[in-house]
Structure 1
Amino acid sequence: MVMVGRELIDLGLSAYERGLLDRERLTGALREASEGRAGETAETFWARHGLSREQLEQLARVPAGSSALAPVHSRVSEPAGPSQRPGDVEGSSIVIASSVVRDPGSTQVDEPGRATLVDPIEVTPERFKPVGVLGVGGMGEVLEVEDTRIGRRVAIKRVKAEVPHPERAAALLEREARVTGRLEHPNIVPLYDLGAEGAQKPFYVMRLLTHPTLAQVLQQVRRRDPAALAAYSLNRLVRCFVQVCRAVDYAHSRGVIHCDLKPANILVGPFGEVLVVDWGFCHIVGERRAQRGGTPGFLAPEQLAPETAELDARTDVFALGAVLYDILCLQHAFPILPMAFMVDAVRRGENPLPVPTPPSIRAPERRIAAELDEICLRALAFGPDQRFASARELADAVDAYLEGTREQERQGKRARELTEQGDMLAHNYRDLEQQAPERAAELGRLRSSVASWSSAADKQSLWDAEDREEVLQSVARRTFQAAVACYEHALEEASDHGPARLGLARIYWEALQRAQDRRADAERVYLESLVNQYDDGLLNRSARTVGGLRLRARGPVTGATLVRTSVV
């Protein structure tokens, strides 16, 4: 496939806008150009498609870049901040379409060939001292500079020194600055100033951003980097995603559709900061077709046929779904397919993208909840009507899931605390029960040494021992009941909490052994049912770690040796 040159596209759209070509001839010619011969000039190409020499000369006098339709022309996206950095894994953004913007109700550029800049700001070493280059795009570059007047480091974005169609690039940069400047939100990069170094050399000043992109973070997690794994759990990344959705929803409320959302255009700070950058491809609701583009793999289907589809909030919802898929799976939702193939499919009303595999199946090791599967796939639906109606609705759905997980975490934490308390009480109960035989023997000796006709003073020590035994038996019963209550309350918090179930099975099993020793058949049957209710198969292994051993010997014993044996 041959890359369609910008000059060829500009010439064709100029002819279309002046009535020299109809839509069918234009789109057919551009499709041929994307698959045609290399090295052919734009004039020769359009001459073959019916434009006369006079018409071509007339079109050549039209300012370059006043109109363009570029379905398969790649270029690096223009970041609102230094968003394209080494380590970002997404492909470059592509221009889908651009044309004259005419919206009397907005402060946008009316003709991309003419910029209406604010009063120039003198850019001199005295005001902005260059520090370094942060990023370079297709038409612009971002510099780190020292603002000596205020005494802080900031970033400046400006048009590159050598760029095709500098007037158009200047107009687009100013449009990007004005759009970004009117979006005042904690999760959108703030713009400080807009000015020009001279005629048609606009720039804007913004906050200096040194945070890694979400693409870089995901790449580190994908590589199992220990620091990244510790800092960016799945739930934390999903919480960051909710912040992105809130920022995008705010932009939608201001009539701005981002159109190029992807992990490389999201910055993630160490203290929970999340910033959405690169608004250069944004669409303003109510504009005629303006600069449109995006990144394959994150483009909504309607972006592939801009001459037939309107963009709205659901366009960004699709891209947000692709970002969420990346977060969940650490893999892209879609393969990168030829643009011409996808454009033709969308124009025929067909979905060119395969149905994504549910994230939980694609990445089972990530333990992705079914709720997130459903949310992600709904956002990625082919038809806009099948998606969430807004970024807010998508954020609310994810937030509801997170709230549920937070409640589960709270319940799990409470269940662990109750189980630990139950284990402590069960341990105290076992100590009391293990001491019971010795206490019983001591009490028996006292009873045998005191005759029934003895005086009250002689019987006092026996009565005291009997009172102590009664109290200790009462304490043992209450400790047993308290341990059982703790385990049961833990299961009320989390019904599948294994340690609590094991604690109950163990304490009932020990009570069962004592009931068997006493030949208490009714109690034994009841306790057996309780053991079976709570034993999940772990009791046989764990029960062997609990218990006591009593040795009876005739005569004095100086020591004993225990030898581990196994039964085959």
Structure 2
Amino acid sequence: MMLSLSSTDIQLPSPRPHGLAKYRDLTEMARGGNGVLYAAYDQIVGRTVVLKMLLPEHRLDRGFRRRLLREARVTAQLEHPGTVPVHEIGEDEEYGIYYAMKRISGENFFSVLRQLGKGDEKVAAAFPLHRRIEIVRDTCQTLVFAHAAGVIHRDVKPENIWVGNFGEVTLLDWGSAKVWGAPTLDDGRYAVTSTPHNESSHAPPSESASMSKVKHEEHTYELPTLTPANLLIGTPTYMSPEQIANRDIDERSDVFSVGVCLYEAMAVAEPFRGKDRNETFENICMRQPTPPSERSPNQHIPKEADRIVFKAIAKQTASRYQTMRELIADLDELLLIVRQEETE
């Protein structure tokens, strides 16, 4: 006769629940346009997890179901300290497809930068320049692993970078990822539709061409978030020129997005943010931002940082860092300079 788990530990429920039934105390944490996150307690393992599932209006939609399943599987297959472990993928008669993942503590990097932008001295002490560069570097390390596995994130931004209470850095939201060799599951939802600017108007100029300068918006952290372009993948202020033009992308598109994050992490200001989405796209494709060291002189950013940022956010892919490893090597050198200057 086989002993049950509950006969071994009386604290375990009997009979043993399966699927969503094994989770109790579901508490909504956040919701977006497609899905919702719940904190829940796993009665069998005895831990708090996060459950992600679709909003009620999307639970029967085949496209949304396929994308959530794809997101769960891509995240589960990227087993790395910089990604969130997926514990289970399942389906419930009432709630549809869901997946359970580790609950992480801390805050997203965007929240940190927003507080810095507001002059929070406590946050400034906890996140000096070298620490902010380290966070970007750790994100790059996770992307090295993902790129080696044939996965392009496509939505790297501070809001998707989670800074843990013990210094750990986690890259979230792989739902927009491109997987090399895998069939697209977008069902046409993310195909480019007509916009006020055609593709040729967003073609990046030669790096040697004289580019106009970005007219920077002030107090960008107080401005509303720009909505994604109609049916384009990514967040407008962090998209690469090739994403905007809907051209084929590779890991160098993530390099560009990381370069934007690096600029923002150091200068505590967005490099390409315009008054609206179209101006932002024009800035990304046609204009050069003010060097971070000049944009925010109070942050004491070395000139070497300007060179690294501009190489990462070069309009032409051939002019960028060709791999994340190349960018990491320069960030390591930059960190040596910054740490030395901070101790002087």
Tell me the TM-score range normalised by the shorter chain.
0.7 to 0.9
Supply the distance in 1 between the matched residues of 2:248 and 2:77 (Cα, whole angstroms).
Answer: 23
Q: Deviations over 1:447-490 (max 9, x none)?
A: xxxxxxxxxxxxxxxxxxxxxxxxxxxxxxxxxxxxxxxxxxxx
Given the alignment of the two structures, is residue 123 of structure 1 paired with residue 61 of structure 2, yes or no? Answer: no
CA 1:165–1:357 in structure 2 vs 1: closer, same or farther (change >3 Å)?
A: farther
1:359 is the counterpart of 2:299? no
Q: Distance in 1 between matches of 2:300 and 2:342?
A: 15
Q: CA deviation at 1:341?
A: 7.4
Amino acid at match of 1:385: A
Aligned counterpart, 2:259: 321
Unaligned runs of 5+ in 1: 1-119, 413-568
Distance in 2 separating the partners of 1:251 and 1:233: 28
Q: Which moved more, 1:289-298 or 1:239-248?
A: 289-298
Aligned residue among 178, 184, 190 for 2:79: 184
1:295 has 2:235 as partner: yes
Greater C-alpha Rg: 1
The answer for the alignment partner of 2:206 in structure 1 is none
RMSD between superposed Cα atoms in Å: 2.4
Partner residue in 1 for 2:156 = 261
Q: Match for 2:36: what amino acid?
A: E
**Are residues 1:398 and 2:298 paired?**
no
Contact 1:296–1:336 (CA under 8 A) maintained in structure 2 = no
Q: CA deviation at 1:310?
A: 1.4
Aligned to 2:38: 143
Q: 1:6-405 maps to which residues of 2 (within 5 A)?
A: 121-124=18-21, 127-163=22-58, 166-198=61-93, 201-287=96-182, 289-291=184-186, 293-306=233-246, 309-336=247-274, 352-405=285-338
* 1:562 equivalent in structure 2: none
Residue identity in the other structure for 1:176: E
Task: Compute the displacement of 1:339 (Å).
Answer: 5.3
- Structure 1 letter corresponding to 2:262: L
Partner residue in 1 for 2:202: none
* Structure 1 residue 209 displacement after superposition: 2.1
More strand by share: 2
Distance 1:290 1:382 in 2: 28
**Change in CA separation of 1:408 and 1:338 when aligned onto 2, cut-off 3 Å:** closer
- In the other structure, the counterpart of 2:13 is none
The 5-angstrom pairing of residues 406-445 of structure 1 reads 406=339, 412=344
Displacement of 1:353 after TM fit?
Answer: 4.0
CA distance in 2 between counterparts of 1:363 and 1:203 reads: 44
Q: Report the secondary structure of 1:294's partner residue.
A: coil
User: CA separation in 1, counterparts of 2:28 and 2:238?
Assistant: 28
SS in 1 for 2:131: helix
Task: Tell me how far 1:185 sits from its aligned partner.
Answer: 0.7
Alpha-carbon separation, structure 2, partners of 1:386 and 1:165: 45
Q: CA deviation at 1:199?
A: 8.2
Report if aligned partners of 1:192, 1:204 keep a CA contact under 8 Å in 2.
yes
Contact (CA 8 Å) 1:157, 1:203: kept in 2 or not? yes
Per the TM alignment, residue 226 of structure 1 is displaced from its structure 2 partner at its CA by: 2.4
Deviations 1:427-464 (A, max 9, x none): xxxxxxxxxxxxxxxxxxxxxxxxxxxxxxxxxxxxxx
SS in 2 for 1:297: helix
- Determine the C-alpha separation between the residues in 1 that align with 2:338 and 2:280: 38
User: After superposition, what is the alpha-carbon deviation per residue over 1:28-59, rounded to whole angstroms, capped at 9, x for unaligned?
Assistant: xxxxxxxxxxxxxxxxxxxxxxxxxxxxxxxx
Equivalent-residue separation in structure 1 for 2:110 and 2:185 (angstroms): 27
Q: Percent identity?
A: 33
Q: Deviations over 1:279-309 (max 9, x none)?
A: 0000012345554610011000111232xx2
Query: Aligned equivalents of 2:39 and 2:105: distance in 1?
Result: 10
Larger relative contact order (C-alpha < 8 A, sep ≥ 6)? 2
Whole-angstrom distance in 2 between the partners of 1:409 and 1:332: 24
User: How far apart, in 1, do the equivalents of 2:150 and 2:185 lie?
Assistant: 14
1:270 to partner: Cα distance: 2.6
Q: Can you give the 5+ residue segments of structure 2 that lack an aligned partner in the other structure?
A: 1-16, 191-232
Query: Which secondary structure does the structure 2 equivalent of 1:184 belong to?
Result: coil
1:262–1:323: 8 Å Cα contact kept in structure 2? yes
SS at match of 1:143: strand
Cα distance, 1:254–1:167 mapped onto 2, change above 3 Å: same
SS at match of 1:123: helix
Q: Tell me how many residue pairs correspond in the alignment.
A: 283
The answer to whether the 8 Å contact 2:59/2:95 transfers is: no
Q: Is the 8 A contact 1:217 1:228 kept in 2?
A: yes
Q: Cα gap change, 1:193/1:356 in structure 2, threshold over 3 Å: closer, same or farther? A: same
